[in-house]
């Protein structure tokens, strides 16, 4: 943490290379966080780059009240949310390529382990879970993504979201309940068939 603060102070003093060190140190973690929100890997890289640009522009205002990575995570999450909001306003891009379909058809490894029934059930379950998360209030969805996709502790989530740890626990509990309800609906449907 002291190393990060020293690097931040060097950036604030005009040393651009010190920021490069921070980017190298945290870029994988930031891309991983953003991928929890933005599922397209190429878009996630673009959003990560945008988050680092925002961090660089805002670093003169960094006071060290929290750890640098916590501050950077907040920027990454907000940049991801802004990206998703702006993307929802754009018409969908049609970028399906015929060659992609051919290559996927030839993926024998996938066929060996996936029966049509298992594939359908797995796809439906994944869709229900993602839909359950997307239907959650924004703060609740963020908390469960940080916990389950990023493996962050409750304390880290509380720092990133700037709220009490009890609030984090409550949000994660509500999120898990909502996801469990969606799973139970699928399992119930499967028993009836």
Instruction: Return the domain boundaries, the chain.
Output: 1-91, 107-193
Please state, in angstroms and rounded to a whole number, the distance separating the CA atoms of residues 166 and 45: 33
Q: Where are the beta strands (DSSP E) in 13-169?
A: none
Q: Tokens 């609030």 label which residue? A: 167
Tell me how far apart the alpha carbons of residues 42 and 22 are, in angstroms, rounded to a whole number. 21
> pTM for the complete prediction?
0.55
Of 15-24, 28-37, 90-99, least confident by mean pLDDT is: 90-99
Conformation bin of residue 162: beta by default, left when phi > 0, alpha when psi is -120 to 50: left
C-alpha–C-alpha distance, residues 70 and 66, integer Å: 6
Q: What is the pLDDT of residue 134?
A: 85
Q: CATH number of 1-91: 3.40.50.300, 1.10.1740.10, 2.130.10.10, 2.70.40.10? A: 1.10.1740.10
Q: How far apart are CA 127 and CA 137, in angstroms?
A: 18
At the topology level, CATH places domain 107-193 in Arc Repressor Mutant, subunit A (1.10.10)
Alpha helices in the chain (DSSP H): 2-12, 16-35, 41-58, 68-88, 98-105, 108-113, 116-135, 138-148, 154-161, 165-192
What is the C-alpha separation between 16 and 52, in angstroms, rounded?
A: 13
Tens digit of pLDDT for each residue in 136-170? 898 988 898 888 888 888 888 898 888 998 999 99
Give per-residue pLDDT as tens, 70-99.
Answer: 899 989 989 998 888 887 765 555 444 444
Same fold, 1-91 and 107-193: no
pLDDT at 121: 58
Mean pLDDT, rounded, for 60-76: 89
């Amino acid at each position: 943490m002291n190393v990060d603060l020293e690097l931040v102070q060097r950036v604030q003093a005009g040393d651009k290379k010190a920021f490069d060190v921070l980017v190298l140190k945290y870029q994988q973690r930031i891309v991983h966080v953003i991928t929890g929100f933005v599922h397209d890997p190429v878009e996630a890289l673009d959003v990560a780059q945008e988050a680092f640009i925002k961090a660089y522009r805002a670093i003169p205002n960094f006071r060290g009240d929290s750890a640098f990575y916590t501050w950077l995570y907040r920027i990454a999450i907000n940049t991801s949310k802004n990206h998703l909001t702006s993307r929802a306003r754009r018409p969908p891009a049609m970028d399906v390529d015929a060659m992609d379909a051919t290559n996927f058809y030839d993926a024998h490894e996938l066929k060996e382990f996936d029966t049509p029934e298992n594939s359908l059930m797995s796809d439906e379950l994944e869709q229900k879970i993602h839909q359950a998360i997307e239907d959650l209030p924004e703060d609740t969805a963020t908390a469960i993504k940080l916990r389950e996709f990023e493996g962050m502790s409750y304390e880290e989530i509380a720092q990133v979201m700037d709220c009490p740890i009890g609030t984090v626990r409550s949000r994660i509990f509500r999120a898990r309940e909502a996801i469990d309800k969606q799973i139970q609906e699928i399992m119930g449907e499967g028993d009836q068939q």
